[in-house]
Chain A
């Protein structure tokens, strides 16, 4: 039998958002799988990969993200996709549009993963045609082997918040007791 201690009483029976310690351990394990390849940072710092181009791409993602009023989770995911993609795929040199296209595709996929209202990807920007964005999305999805559910700080937030608030409850009750 699977027995869990239920502190919260019956009214919280369907409160699935309580993450167990094992779930969080699992998330920590998966976090490693969904990070850029080793050596990515070194390549950025050594100039093998152009840091300023990456910065430009992130700036664009940041602005578009704010413009469409997306949530914080999709921002984290977009950046995760971008870095993971750059760490395994060589974009053609000297073609700055390819980086812009990549940024659009990453934001578009992240929005589809997390957002409620998702504009058609072509409306995210003005530079590219729909079919090019769609192809780039496919390239990103398959290059990242369809592993789009990366851990972000938000995956852990709930767990830690609950730990903190639980502790407060305990503190209160022990104050009462004393």
Chain B
């Protein structure tokens, strides 16, 4: 497991990095649209290697070179992990003036995204889920919040909201689309924008206008996806921001100064505060879930981000890694097969200073001390 220190560099950069032309590649077909540009499957002419070329869209001249692209390049150059998409290089298109033409990011080619795969009957979620967490954990260790982890299951409404979790034919999963990602420091004094993360997976603190947030925002998204996997459909499919908050309150209860100290001081609280009392109904609605799964969900879908506190965040991650490693999991026996989690919970204290992560081939797990 590569555990890079924060700020570790890309040491394998070749001298030609960033100076080659897109003519070194032969475009084969368009395979999708990312946050800000088309994606093509292409072959590197010299080596025959298949890659994905993402064209950076530069329609908005006023903005100049898009900030999302700058951020994505900055962050991907910092992250090197088997579960984070690898930015191989940046190439320019020479048509006409060199600097007027297109700019392409060259990625390793991935065969699927999770949206398509999840429809398959008997789909096994084991590997992808673990990988998502190791990739995410790695991002957090390197001080990057992904901020746009999107759902993997059903009914994704339009093309541009499709999943940013990619899988190759060997079942390796990678986090992609870092256009909204940014670095964070734990001091929490930096103000960040609150209009991030696809609506359904956006945590309440962002919906209430907070601009100081940390890794807990990604954990909420993972919690939503976790519940979605067990439930079979998205749990908070809001149409707009008020409806989104309402759906969250209906399930998780209305926030008040008791369960979330400080909530009344969030910028949009008065505008969005619930008009009637609402009780937390998580346990009732998801009573068919395995009780250990429910415990875990309770922790991840805690309203107050501070209570998803740092220790708990780690425990959640650890448990979830373990959770998905137990047995051979189709969706039905996923629920039945979680007894070992109980054992894990006993070790909460010993887990404080360590994390379980799967080996590269996912055949066993390794305890990393921190």
Chain A nearest CB, measured from B67 CB (Å)? 4
Q: Which of B162-170, B185-193, B272-280, B339-347 contacts A (4 or more CB under 8 A)?
A: B185-193
> What are 24 A-B residue pairs whose CB atoms fall within 8 Å in the complex?
A4-B370, A10-B352, A13-B310, A13-B352, A14-B214, A14-B313, A16-B6, A16-B143, A23-B6, A23-B8, A26-B7, A27-B7, A112-B65, A131-B61, A133-B64, A134-B58, A135-B99, A137-B64, A138-B92, A138-B99, A141-B65, A142-B19, A148-B70, A149-B77
> Are the C-beta atoms of B19 and A137 separated by less than 8 Å?
no
**Is A17 in the interface zone, CB < 8 Å from B?**
yes
Query: 8 tightest CB-CB pairs across the interface, nearest first?
Result: A121-B64, A145-B18, A130-B61, A120-B62, A14-B310, A146-B18, A112-B67, A23-B5
Chain B residues with Cβ below 8 Å from A96 are none
Q: Which of B6, B141, B215 has its CB near the most chain A CB atoms (within 10 A)?
A: B6
Interface residues on B, range: 35 or more
> Are the C-beta atoms of B17 and A145 separated by less than 8 Å?
yes
**Is B360 in the interface zone, CB < 8 Å from A?**
no
> Are the C-beta atoms of B369 and A3 separated by less than 8 Å?
yes
Chain A residues with Cβ below 8 Å from B77 are 146, 149
Chain B nearest CB, measured from A113 CB (Å)? 6
**Which A-chain residue is minimally distant from B193 (CB atoms)?**
A116
**Is A11 in the interface zone, CB < 8 Å from B?**
yes
Complex Cα gap A142–B100 (Å): 12
Known: A13-B370, A22-B5. Contact between A120 and B64, CB under 8 A? yes
Chain B residues with Cβ below 8 Å from A52 are none
Chain A interface main SS type: helix
Interface residues on A, range: 35 or more
Complex Cα gap A15–B314 (Å): 12
> Are the C-beta atoms of A120 and B191 separated by less than 8 Å?
no
* Chain B 340-370: CB-based contact to A (< 8 A → 1; otherwise 0): 0000000000001100000000000011111
Chain B residues with Cβ below 8 Å from A130 are 61-62, 64
Chain B residues with Cβ below 8 Å from A30 are 9
CB contacts under 8 Å to B, within A114-141, are: 116, 118, 120-123, 130-131, 133-135, 137-139, 141
**Is B103 in the interface zone, CB < 8 Å from A?**
yes
**Which A-chain residue is minimally distant from B187 (CB atoms)?**
A17
Chain A residues with Cβ below 8 Å from B353 are 6, 10, 13
> Are the C-beta atoms of B74 and A142 separated by less than 8 Å?
no
**Is B78 in the interface zone, CB < 8 Å from A?**
yes
Complex Cα gap A120–B58 (Å): 13
Complex Cα gap A14–B185 (Å): 10
**Which B-chain residue is minimally distant from A27 (CB atoms)?**
B7
Complex Cα gap A65–B346 (Å): 54
Chain B residues with Cβ below 8 Å from A22 are 5
**Which B-chain residue is minimally distant from A23 (CB atoms)?**
B5
B64 partner, pick from A4, A6, A19, A122, beta carbons under 8 A: A122
Complex Cα gap A20–B193 (Å): 29
Known: A15-B186, A26-B9. 4 other contacts (CB 8 A): A2-B3, A2-B370, A19-B7, A116-B192
